[in-house]
A and B are shown apart, each in its own frame.
Chain A
Amino acid sequence: MDNPNQKRRQELEKYFDVQGPFAFLRLAQMKRAWRQGNRRQLTWWENTYIPTLISGIWLTSKHFFRNLGFHILHLVGLCKDVRAAVTYQYPEQKRPLGLRLRTRHRLTKREDDSPRCVACMMCETVCPARCIEITAAEHPDPNIEKYPAEFILDLGKCVYCGFCVEVCPEDAIRMDTGILNTSEYSRESMIYNKKRLMEE
């Protein structure tokens, strides 16, 4: 019993009674106590917090001076291919979005403002999250035949995979609105209907 670790372990085992029922809960408690017991004591120098203070200031100023340097170089036309950090004042100022970024959906329109969608239900079929629900109906114009009487898209379920856009034979659904802030206060208001999807 000369190994202090072993001794301590046994003490703890006894204290937490890791043999009885619900031993797994006590085992977790024991492990926590073990870890705390093994924590290294800080030295006097560390206890003054001066070394950590210095290393923090060093890290922040390193980035500051690096960005400052590169921004000055950019101003005189040098090192253009090295990027320096910029701050956007979101939400007043928005970051430019990539052209291929998938953002909130919209339903595109024909010239007469009716949806291009012909309710073929390809998007509904392919959607892995099953968040699209289309009710098809007979269009008064026999050359259009079928149109979506209702088009429900539940953004709360959508995984933004873009399959619906890819599969649409009519280019009727797109994810190019650039809208990212789709957050709402309730799940119900995350459900978009045809009207909402067609608003600009």
Chain B
Amino acid sequence: MPNLTIDGQQVDVPVGTTIIQAARKLGISIPHYCYHPALPVAGNCRICLVEVEKQPKLQISCYTPVAEGMIVRTNSPKVLEARQNVLEFLLVNHPLDCPVCDQAGECKLQDYYMKHGLYDSRLADVKIKKEKKAFAIGRTVMLDQERCILCTRCVRFTENITKTHEFGVFNRGDHSQLDLYPGRKLDNNYSGNVVDICPVGALTDRDFRFKCRVWYLEKTKSVCPGCSQGCNITVEWDKMRPHIQKQARVMRLKPRFNSEVNDYWICDKGRYNYHFIDENRIVHPQFNKESISWEQAMDILAGAVNSLKISKRMNRIGVLASAQLTNEDLFVIKKLFKDTLGGALVDFRVPEKPGESDEFLMKADKNPNTAGAEIILGSDTKPQQIVQKARQGEIDLLYVFGHDLSQLFGKEAIYQISKNVKLFVFQGSNVNNTCNYAHLILPSQVYAEKEGTFTNCQSRVQRIWPAFQPLGEARADWEILSLLSERLGSALNFKDPRSIFNEIAATIAPFAELTYEKIGDKGTTLAK
């Protein structure tokens, strides 16, 4: 293990580590554009220059391996001057676009200019302009070649991560420009990530473009509910002016680094899967299409359950839970329908068509919590049986969590269900076709409004955090069920998701001894 000194601090790192990585270990950040921890080193932006003692020239810290006894200075006058000069070169042909550039506020050119640049312009010639200004290069991304600093991060991303090879740098010198290979379009499943890795505003997100300024955004850690991979994300939302974007609060989703799950990336499906949070929501409880209060809704529901309970016909309750729910929600479903009431038919495995998948992140199972549902709920019946019974009128209370039955079982089936079942309850966050047939509709919260945990396909439990207040009167699924249990006179007494999780940990073996603290930001794998 070579031992070296950086800015007077000693550090031990394995052979082959580069100076920039060693410095990062010490908490010293060296400015960089082309270096990215997940991509191979290119060493072309030259801003990470550092002074290494006994070497005549400055060295690029992203490509210089450490050696025993090396003495590195990252902020000597020579280094600072070099940094300023490199920045001046990078900005020679850079347009003054910050006012219209979506990157402004999180742009490394702006940041480093304010920190290390601050020189007066010496440019006497006119800036070289590219033929085209911003243009779309695919479904998701806009390219502005004038803003590009040719760091080739995006090129290396498409070469090494997606292996789709869309980008290249063409021409030489002043005329070099980043472009797609002729006849290509950027339309792989991970195209949105190039926007994240581009250190400047050359690649911008078409979906996010001009919606708001990045400094308006609040950020909340979360987990993508788009598939069973459970990529870590941050929900970025606008607190001050949702009315401008048709009441939409969430502006964009960004990947959150987790080396165990998704590294620095997320797929496009997940990235743009946020519109449902603000659109098409159910905001009030409804009975036969009339808005009612929660009190009334609970009266109806508890009345139906109670009458079945008194006549001891609990097997005439069918519950279609969902793997979209958190572990906490599922546990309360189990507690209420399986343990407390006993005998109800509960399952979550509706026959969904497998979605798009690939070898990298995207999984065919589009539910974030299938593994958790399997552990917590298990399965004794089949959803098909429950639906069959409901169609034949052998079930009096059908409780559906968010599924669109008309899509899964056909229009005919759902029509029969709504006719033959005495009380058809739909509990979900968004309006779908099933709502037209359900008798009682209960609004629940989306993942960005509630707290809880998901278990992904690697059996990794990961937390989600509430970003903002729920829309309308929506309540968390566990909360609705706790209310119901109170009405039934067998209160479950759950105060918050944390207390539910503690009980999960106490009663379900794979979760043993876990707490929210132990799960932390990055999640933890369940015991086998």
Q: Hey, which bits of chain A sit against chain B, CB under 8 A?
A: 118-122, 125, 130, 133, 135-138, 142-146, 169-170
Tell me which residues across on chain B come within 8 A of A118, comparing CB atoms: 99-100
Given contacts A142-B132, A142-B135, contact A137 B210 (CB under 8 A): yes
B134 — nearest CB in chain A belongs to which residue?
A142
Q: How many residues on the B side are at the interface (Cβ–Cβ under 8 A)?
A: 18
Tell me which residues across on chain A come within 8 A of B244, comparing CB atoms: 133, 135
- Are B210 and A119 within 8 A (Cβ)? yes
- Are B241 and A121 within 8 A (Cβ)? no
Tell me which residues across on chain B come within 8 A of A133, comparing CB atoms: 241, 244
Task: Identify 15 new A-B residue pairs, CB closer than 8 A, beyond the known A135-B244, A136-B210, A138-B209.
Answer: A119-B100, A120-B98, A120-B104, A125-B213, A136-B211, A137-B210, A142-B132, A142-B135, A143-B133, A145-B100, A145-B133, A146-B99, A146-B100, A169-B98, A169-B99
B133 — nearest CB in chain A belongs to which residue?
A142
B209 — nearest CB in chain A belongs to which residue?
A138
Top 8 closest A-B pairs, CB basis? A120-B99, A142-B133, A136-B210, A146-B100, A145-B100, A121-B213, A118-B100, A169-B99
Complex CA gap A170/B100 in Å reads 11
Tell me which residues across on chain A come within 8 A of B241, comparing CB atoms: 133
Q: Could you write out 9 A-B pairs with CB less than 8 Å apart?
A: A118-B100, A136-B211, A137-B210, A142-B132, A142-B135, A143-B133, A145-B97, A145-B100, A146-B100
Tell me which residues across on chain A come within 8 A of B97, comparing CB atoms: 145
Say whether chain B's binding surface is mostly helix, strand, loop, or mixed: loop
Count chain A CB atoms within 10 A of each CB in B104, B134, B210, B240 and give the residue with the most: B210
Complex CA gap A91/B211 in Å reads 44
Tell me which residues across on chain B come within 8 A of A122, comparing CB atoms: 99
B215 — nearest CB in chain A belongs to which residue?
A125
Instruction: State how many angstroms separate the Cβ of B174 from the closest Cβ of chain A.
Output: 20
A169 — nearest CB in chain B belongs to which residue?
B99
Tell me which residues across on chain A come within 8 A of B212, comparing CB atoms: 121
Given contacts A133-B241, A145-B134, contact A138 B99 (CB under 8 A): no
Instruction: State how many angstroms separate the Cβ of A179 from the closest Cβ of chain B.
Output: 27
Tell me which residues across on chain B come within 8 A of A138, comparing CB atoms: 209-210
Tell me which residues across on chain A come within 8 A of B209, comparing CB atoms: 138
What string of 1s and 0s marks CB contacts (under 8 Å) between B207-247 and chain A?
00111110100000000000000000000000011001000
Complex CA gap A89/B60 in Å reads 75
Tell me which residues across on chain B come within 8 A of A135, comparing CB atoms: 244
Within 8 A of A (CB), among B108-160: 132-135
Tell me which residues across on chain B come within 8 A of A120, comparing CB atoms: 98-100, 104
Count chain A CB atoms within 10 A of each CB in B99, B133, B135, B213 and give the residue with the most: B99
